[in-house]
């Protein structure tokens, strides 16, 4: 067990409550890390501080399975932290870290001490110039899911802002649940920023066929709210009235605590291959961590596979293991009948080679300086390791040789 005896007293002179491990953040990394610590060190005390109102849950289901599988409930979506023996404090925000005293101060005025500290704070959603109103949803949490459920259905009109995975998944989820949907996105073709043109067209067609109204090449600029609903203004001056608006425009990594504590931060909390920050007693993982990927180089990954792999690893390292993170994560999404996965950098401004597999399946290779930097698997299963192998080659590739590789 970690020694916590050298931590200092609180300002009123009483000793802070001591834990071997303190985890800040109540998301997917927090749940998997806490479980791994307790498994590796069953006697270790673990405290999870979460500003959420719900115990950790599987976030991807909030925009997919909870809408498309009537059998699947929020209870099924709970990640089971309660069964690990870790202590969870909900509605509790960590507000400051004192690395000399090895303490964390929380929003309820308490101070706890740690032997090892994990920062798994994820990110906060990008906001727009919209009123502070219950009908404006910056979609991220289970509470947001419940709110959107209450605001949708019954042929109500929901405007979804953002053409990346959260926006496209929510638009698909809503239109399949008796809701009129307008999707506002800046690209000329939905998915055009990430998919090669032929795949973007087939992606967009699914939305048209499902009845989603597409506001192409548009951004939401501002809006007002009254009893009748929301009144939204797009960047070309056109207007939309809606019963609710969902914004899915990405996140900013939550690095404030790390910055305040004087840890190295560079578009994320900088960690080494063992997910240690510049302080050997403090770790970071998941969406917030800038880590060295063995194949792709230093990066921050905002995807669930990364969270589910880094969480257990950082937990084991905190409990004493000397492992390093050797996994190159993939990303996945599902909308309508389409399931796609990607490894590496998916950006349609790079050169692409598309290998059409027929029956709506394809593999797209993204090239930069004649090296493959990303692979997209379009309705293709069980090919992630093959994609990683192509990426690991790194050096100049013969374009023609790519067709048929996967
Ligand atoms: C709707 C949705 C759908 C998604 N779908 C996919 C998908 O299909 N495929 C995919 O690859 N990825 C998907 N993701 C991304 C994936 O869920 C994240 O990558 C993953 O949850 C990251 O885990 P994390 O623990 O790093 O952060 P999070 O799960 O975001 O958890 C961070 C937690 O920290 C808390 N917190 C932050 N600061 C503090 C503080 N100071 N004190 C206390 N608590 C704090 C936050 O409230 C939050 O609970 C999706 C995300 C969302 C929101």
For ligand 1, atom 35, which residue shows the shortest CA distance? 25
CA of 275 to the centre of ligand 1 (A): 17
For ligand 1, atom 30, which residue shows the shortest CA distance? 122
Residue pLDDT, tens place only, 291-341: 999 998 999 999 999 999 999 999 999 999 999 999 999 999 999 999 999
Residue pLDDT, tens place only, 167-205: 999 999 999 999 999 999 999 999 999 999 999 999 999
> Does residue 9 sit within a domain?
no
Nearest Cα residue to 256 out of 119, 117, 88, 127: 119
Widest distance between CA atoms in the chain: 71
pLDDT band at 13 (very low <50, low <70, confident <90, very high): low
Residue pLDDT, tens place only, 23-51: 999 999 999 999 999 999 999 999 999 99
* pLDDT higher than 80, residue 8: no
Is the domain of 173 the same as that of 229? Answer: yes
The whole-angstrom separation of Cα 194 and Cα 190 is 9
- Token readout for 293 is 């990927």
Coil vs helix vs strand at 84:
helix
Coil vs helix vs strand at 136:
strand
For ligand 1, atom 31, which residue shows the shortest CA distance? 27
Residue 151 sits in a domain of what CATH number?
3.50.50.60
Residue 373 sits in a domain of what CATH number?
3.30.390.30
For ligand 1, atom 38, which residue shows the shortest CA distance? 121
Is the domain of 79 the same as that of 113? Answer: yes
Whether 328 contacts 360, CB under 8 Å: no
Domain boundary among 215, 247, 279: 247
Q: Which domain holds residue 178?
A: 127-247
Nearest Cα residue to 175 out of 218, 208, 138: 208
CA of 344 to the centre of ligand 1 (A): 20
Is the domain of 292 the same as that of 368? Answer: no
The whole-angstrom separation of Cα 236 and Cα 215 is 11
* pLDDT higher than 70, residue 388: yes
Is the domain of 215 the same as that of 112? Answer: no
Whether 199 contacts 168, CB under 8 Å: no
Is the domain of 139 the same as that of 279? Answer: no
Whether 156 contacts 135, CB under 8 Å: no
Atom of ligand 1 nearest to the CA of 63: 1
Domain boundary among 262, 283, 318: 318
pLDDT band at 6 (very low <50, low <70, confident <90, very high): very low
CA atoms within 13 A on the CB side of 340: 25
> What residues line ligand 1, using a CB cutoff of 6 Å?
24-30, 49-52, 59-60, 62-63, 93-94, 120-122, 139-140, 166, 254, 257, 286-288, 302-305, 307, 331-333
What pLDDT sits at residue 1? 35
Is the domain of 300 the same as that of 348? Answer: no
Beta bridge partners of 112: 17, 104
Helix ranges, 5-94 (H)? 28-40, 65-68
What pLDDT sits at residue 110? 96
CA of 393 to the centre of ligand 1 (A): 31
User: What's phi and psi for 300, nearest 5 deg?
Assistant: -120, 130
Is the domain of 27 the same as that of 101? Answer: yes
Look at the chain and report how many structural domains it folds into. 3
Residue pLDDT, tens place only, 212-269: 999 999 999 999 999 999 999 999 999 999 999 999 999 999 999 999 999 999 999 9
> Does residue 139 sit within a domain?
yes
> Does residue 324 sit within a domain?
no
Is the domain of 115 the same as that of 256? Answer: yes
Q: Mean per-residue pLDDT for 276-304?
A: 96
pLDDT band at 10 (very low <50, low <70, confident <90, very high): low
> Does residue 328 sit within a domain?
no
Domain boundary among 217, 247, 277: 247
What pLDDT sits at residue 190? 98
What pLDDT sits at residue 203? 98
Question: Kindly report the CA angle at 329 between 323 and 331, in degrees rounded to 5?
Answer: 155
The whole-angstrom separation of Cα 282 and Cα 117 is 5
* pLDDT higher than 70, residue 12: no
The whole-angstrom separation of Cα 272 and Cα 94 is 23
Query: Positive or negative CA dihedral for 256, 36, 389, 190?
Result: negative
> Does residue 8 sit within a domain?
no
> Does residue 10 sit within a domain?
no
Looking at the whole model, is its pTM more than 0.75? yes
Is the domain of 305 the same as that of 390? Answer: no
> Does residue 4 sit within a domain?
no
The whole-angstrom separation of Cα 405 and Cα 394 is 15
Residue pLDDT, tens place only, 102-135: 999 999 999 999 999 999 999 999 999 999 999 9
For ligand 1, atom 11, which residue shows the shortest CA distance? 303
Question: Kindly report the CA angle at 245 between 243 and 251, in degrees rounded to 5?
Answer: 165
Beta bridge partners of 129: 222
For ligand 1, atom 5, which residue shows the shortest CA distance? 60
Is the domain of 310 the same as that of 378? Answer: no
> Does residue 367 sit within a domain?
yes
Atom of ligand 1 nearest to the CA of 61: 3
The whole-angstrom separation of Cα 115 and Cα 109 is 20
Q: Would you tell me how many other CB atoms lie within 10 Å of the CB of residue 54? A: 16
Is the domain of 119 the same as that of 255? Answer: yes
Q: Would you tell me how many other CB atoms lie within 10 Å of the CB of residue 27? A: 27
Is the domain of 188 the same as that of 262? Answer: no
Residue pLDDT, tens place only, 73-99: 999 999 999 999 999 999 999 999 999
Atom of ligand 1 nearest to the CA of 107: 42
């Amino acid at each position: 067990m970690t020694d916590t005896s050298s931590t200092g007293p609180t300002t009123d002179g009483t000793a802070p409550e001591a834990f071997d491990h303190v985890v800040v953040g109540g998301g997917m990394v927090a749940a998997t890390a806490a479980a791994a610590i307790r498994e590796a060190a069953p006697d270790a005390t673990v405290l999870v501080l979460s500003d959420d109102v719900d115990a950790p849950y599987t976030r991807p289901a909030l925009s997919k399975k909870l809408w498309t599988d009537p059998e699947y409930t929020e209870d099924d979506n709970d990640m089971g932290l309660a069964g690990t023996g870790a202590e969870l404090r909900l509605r509790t925000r960590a507000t400051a870290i004192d690395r000399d005293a090895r303490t964390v101060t929380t929003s309820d005025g308490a101070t706890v001490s740690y032997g090892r500290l994990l920062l798994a704070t994820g990110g906060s959603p990008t906001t727009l110039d919209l009123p502070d109103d219950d009908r404006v949803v910056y979609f991220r949490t289970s509470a947001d899911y419940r709110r959107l459920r209450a605001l949708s259905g019954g042929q109500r009109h929901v405007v979804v802002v953002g053409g990346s995975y959260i926006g496209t998944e929510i638009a698909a989820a809503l239109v399949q649940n008796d809701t009129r949907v307008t999707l506002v996105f800046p690209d000329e073709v939905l998915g055009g920023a990430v998919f090669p043109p032929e795949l973007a067209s087939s992606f967009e067609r699914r939305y048209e066929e499902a009845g989603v109204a597409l506001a192409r090449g548009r951004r939401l600029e501002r809006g007002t709210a009254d009893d009748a609903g929301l009144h939204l203004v797009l960047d070309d001056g056109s207007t939309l009235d809606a019963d609710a608006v969902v914004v899915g425009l990405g996140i900013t990594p939550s690095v404030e605590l790390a910055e305040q504590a004087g840890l190295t931060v560079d578009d994320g909390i900088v960690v080494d291959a063992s997910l240690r920050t510049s302080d050997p007693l403090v770790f970071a993982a998941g969406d917030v961590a800038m880590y060295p990927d063995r194949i792709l180089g230093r990066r921050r990954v905002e995807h669930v596979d990364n969270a589910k792999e880094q969480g257990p690893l950082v937990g084991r390292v905190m409990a004493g293991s000397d492992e390093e993170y050797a996994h190159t994560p993939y990303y996945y999404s599902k909308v309508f009948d389409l399931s796609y996965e990607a490894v590496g950098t998916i950006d349609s401004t790079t050169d692409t080679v598309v290998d059409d597999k027929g029956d709506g399946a394809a593999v797209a290779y993204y090239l930069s300086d004649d090296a493959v930097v990303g692979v997209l698997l379009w309705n293709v299963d069980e090919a992630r390791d093959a994609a990683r192998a192509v990426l690991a080659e790194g050096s100049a590739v013969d374009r023609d040789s790519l067709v048929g590789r996967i």
